[in-house]
């Protein structure tokens, strides 16, 4: 047998190759692919085709790219979420508009929005910003048995606001009221200020109130705004 022209097939991996020109005395060869040592025997005439049929074949894995998310659907969801958030914000602002309208810095923005939407804002009012800066009670210079209360009010708010109601109490030594009265703006404003519908921002007014003297019980006084 001319081994140089014959084919050998590895029984381990099925690789077919030509036999060497000479063989060792023990007649065994080593496969150059899997290192299997086996007895050299010629492969059948059609060994090439059979070897090809049994030889291990590389595995082929099909790969399909993962489809990217549709930009249109994501954009639609994002837009819907933004619209929902804006609607909730607008609803919250509408429900809290009365409280927000009391914030001077937000007032112009809310007024502009209401002008476009056809709504109206409640009147700005911040009684805490109206301060009693000077107050005194003395005997009335023109009437016996009467007192004259003089009090100065300042509007420290940055916006005009309605005139407050002015409450005055005459108190005893224990600061318990012995006489008190609540004055409406029309009752305490001087004649020259009666036409002022609002207490101007940064404005000031001096109020003079004649009072009946309660006698020796009165030892002090206090003013409060409402």
Bridge partner residues of 155 (DSSP): 130
Residue 207 has what pLDDT? 97
Gap between the Cα atoms of 179 and 168, Å rounded: 8
- Please indicate, yes or no, whether residues 131 and 221 belong to a single structural domain of this protein: yes
CA pair distance 176, 147, nearest whole angstrom: 19
Global model pTM greater than 0.75: no
Ramachandran angles phi, psi of 199, nearest 5° = -85, 110
* Domain presence at residue 77: no
Judge if 109 and 23 occupy the same domain. no
- Residue 78 in domain: no
Question: For position 34, what pLDDT does the model report?
Answer: 87
Is a pLDDT exceeding 50 seen at residue 4? Answer: no
Count CB-CB contacts under 10 A for residue 221.
Answer: 19
**Residue 136 confidence (pLDDT):** 96
Structure tokens at 108: 């112009």
Q: Are 149 and 207 in the same domain?
A: yes
Q: What is residue 121's predicted lDDT score, i.e. its pLDDT?
A: 77
Centre a 10 Å sphere on the Cβ of residue 193 and count the other Cβ atoms it contains.
15
Q: Looking at the domain assignment, is residue 70 inside a domain?
A: no
What pLDDT, in 10s, does the model give residues 70-100? 666 677 778 877 887 776 666 655 555 556 5
Instruction: Kindly report which listed range (11-15, 46-50, 106-110, 135-139) carries the lowest average pLDDT score.
Output: 46-50
Residue 6 in this model has a pLDDT that exceeds 60: yes
| Better-predicted residue by pLDDT, 208 or 94 | 208
Within 8 A by CB and 6+ apart from 129, the residues are 155, 156, 157, 161
With respect to residue 62, please indicate whether it lies within any of the assigned structural domains. Answer: no
131 falls within a domain: yes
On whether both 131 and 197 belong to a single domain, the answer is yes
137's tokens: 């009670």
Q: Do residues 109 and 171 share a domain?
A: no
What H or E segment, with its residue span, contains residue 107?
helix 107-117
Share of the chain above pLDDT 70, in %: 76
My answer on whether 145 and 113 are in the same domain is no
Give mean pLDDT, residues 11-18.
82
Tell me: do 18 and 106 sit in the same domain: no
Q: Are residues 102 and 173 in the same domain?
A: no
106 plus 165 within the same structural domain: no
CA distance 131 to 221: 16
**Does residue 105 lie in a domain region?**
yes
Q: What is the mean pLDDT of residues 60-72?
A: 58
Angle at 126 between CA 121 and CA 132, to 5 degrees: 155
Residue that is written with structure tokens 């911040």 in the block: 126
Cα(217)–Cα(139) distance, integer angstroms? 15
- pLDDT-derived band at 19 (thresholds 50, 70, 90) equals confident
Give me the CATH number covering residue 186: 2.60.40
pLDDT of residue 1: 43
71 in a domain, yes or no? Answer: no
86 in a structural domain: no
- pLDDT above 50 (res 152): yes
Residue range of the domain that includes 33: 7-54
d(CA 71, CA 147): 81
- Domain total of the chain: 3
């Amino acid at each position: 047998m001319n081994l140089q022209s014959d084919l050998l097939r590895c029984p381990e991996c099925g690789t077919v190759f030509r036999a060497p020109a000479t063989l060792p005395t023990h007649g065994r060869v080593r496969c150059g692919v899997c290192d299997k040592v086996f007895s050299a025997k010629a492969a059948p005439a059609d060994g090439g085709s059979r070897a090809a049929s049994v030889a291990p074949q590389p595995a082929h894995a099909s790969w399909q790219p993962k489809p990217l998310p549709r930009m249109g659907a994501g954009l639609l969801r994002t837009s819907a979420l933004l619209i929902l958030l804006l609607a909730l914000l607008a609803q919250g602002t509408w429900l809290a508009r009365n409280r927000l309208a009391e914030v001077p810095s937000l007032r112009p923005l809310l007024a502009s929005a209401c002008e476009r939407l056809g709504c109206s804002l409640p009147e700005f009012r911040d009684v805490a910003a109206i301060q009693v800066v000077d107050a005194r009670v003395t005997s009335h210079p023109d009437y016996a048995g009467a007192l004259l209360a003089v009090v100065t009010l300042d509007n420290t708010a940055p916006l005009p606001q309605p005139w407050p109601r002015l409450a005055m109490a005459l108190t005893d030594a224990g600061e318990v009221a012995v006489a008190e009265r609540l004055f409406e703006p029309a009752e305490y404003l001087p004649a020259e200020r009666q036409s002022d519908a609002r207490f101007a921002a940064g404005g000031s007014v001096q109020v003079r109130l004649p009072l009946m003297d309660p006698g020796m019980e009165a030892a002090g006084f206090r003013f409060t705004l409402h």
